[in-house]
Amino acid sequence: MLTSAEILKKVRELEIISKRLTRHIFTGEYHSAFKGRGMSFREVREYYPGDDVRFIDWNVSARFNHPFSKLFEEERELTVMLLIDVSASSLFGTVHASKRELITEICAVLAFSAINNNDKVGAILFSDKVERYIPPKKGRQHALYIVREMLSIEPKRKGTRLSEAIRFFNNSIRQKSICFILSDFLDEKFDEALKVAAKKHDVNGIKVYDKMDMQLPSAGLLEVEDAETGAIRWIDSSDYLVQANYQQRFFAATETCKTIFLKAGSDLLHVRTDEDYVKVLKKFFIGRNRPS
C-alpha cells in the first residue's frame, strides 16, 4: 500500500505523462475520434459565396433584402466513463508493470484527454461488486481526484464480475456517453450487460494482460495460487502439455472476449504490460477517424 506522500508523487508523475501525451501525441485525435451530440444553431451572418445554400435563412434574407446564412457549431460536450477493474488479478505483473499500474496510467491519459477537450469524466472502480463510483465532472482537479482514488483504493473483494459494473453504469448514466472498460477480462458472463450498454453508449474495451498470463515460464514444479479465489495447486511448469494447455486456455478466453465485444458492436483493444500502450491508443483514435 502506497503512503500519502507516495500517492501524491505518483499522481504528479501521471499528470505530467498524461499532459505530455495529450499535448504532443493525441492532439486533435481524441476530439475527432469521439463526436459530439450533433450541431446546434449559433448565429446568422451575411451569405458568402461558397456557403451551403441549404442553410440560407430565408426569413431574415427577405427582411433585409439580402441573403443571410445560418451558422451551426458542434455540440461538443461529452461524458467519458472509465470502468476500472481493481480485482486481485489486476495486481499481477512480471515485466514492466502490474496490470493495475498500466490500467491506472491509461486511465490517467484518457481522463486528461477528456478534460482537455472540456468533456466530463467519471469512473466506476469494481471487483465482483462496485467498489467506488465517481460521478462525471469537468476540470483538472476532478481528473486528479480520479487518479488518486485509483492509486489509493483497497478493494473489499477480490473477484471479477464485469456484469455488476456494466449494469451499474447503465443505471447511473442516462445520457449517451463514451465508456472505456479496462480489465484483464477474467470473466465470461457479461455479454448480455454489454449488449444493453452498447445499444445506448459508445463502449470500448481495453484488455490488459501480462506475458505470463499467456505463457508459463519453464521453472519446474511450482505452487500457484489463484489471486481471486485463493485456490492453491501444484503444477509442473516445465511439462510441455501443461504449458500448451495453459496457453490454449488463454487464447480461448481471449477469443471468447473478442466474440462478446464483436456481438455487442463494440471495439476491444489489447495491451500487454511490456508493450507500448500509446501506439495502441493512437492507432485506435486514428482508426475511428477514418470513414467506414
What does the pLDDT look like over 113-156, one tens digit per residue?
888 888 899 999 999 999 999 999 999 999 999 999 999 999 99
Residue with the larger pLDDT of the pair 197 and 62: 197
With a cut of 60, say whether residue 23 has pLDDT above it.
yes
Residue 284 Cα to chain centre, angstroms: 11
How far, in Å, CA of 104 to CA of 152, rounded?
A: 11
Cβ neighbour number for residue 14 with a 10 Å cutoff: 23
Which pLDDT belongs to residue 31?
66
Fold of 4-31+77-289: Rossmann fold (3.40.50)
> Rounded to a whole number, what is the distance in angstroms from the first to the last CA of the chain?
46
Q: What secondary structure does DSSP assign to the chain, as a single string? A: ---HHHHHHHHHHHHHHHHHHHHHTSTTHHHHHS--SEEEEEEEEE--TTS-GGGB-HHHHHHHTS-EEEEEEEE---EEEEEEE-SGGGG--SSS--HHHHHHHHHHHHHHHHHHTT-EEEEEEESSSEEEEEEEE-SHHHHHHHHHHHHH---S-----HHHHHHHHHHH--S--EEEEEE-------HHHHHHHHHHSEEEEEEEE-HHHH-----SEEEEE-TTT--EEEEETT-HHHHHHHHHHHHHHHHHHHHHHHHHT-EEEEEETTS-HHHHHHHHHHHHHS--
Which pLDDT belongs to residue 201?
95
Find the range with the poorest average confidence among 192-196, 263-267, 277-281: 277-281
With a cut of 60, say whether residue 36 has pLDDT above it.
no
Name the residue ranges covered by the structural domains of the chain.
4-31+77-289, 37-75
Residue with the larger pLDDT of the pair 264 and 14: 264
